[in-house]
Structure 1
Amino acid sequence: MRGDFIGVWSETWRETWLPLIDDESGDIFCELFRALVPAPKSRASVEALADIIDNPVQRREAFEKTVSDDFAGERALVAFLEAAHSALDAR
Structure 2
Amino acid sequence: MSLEKFMEQYPENFTGEVFIVPDPTPEQQAKNKALMAELEALTTPLVAWIRENHGPHTEVHVSWDYVSVKHDGVGIPFSYSEK
TM-score surpassing 0.5? no
Which structure: larger Rg? 2
Q: Higher relative contact order by CA 8 Å / sep ≥ 6: 1 or 2?
A: 1
Q: TM-score by structure 2 length?
A: 0.25
Q: TM-score by structure 1 length?
A: 0.23
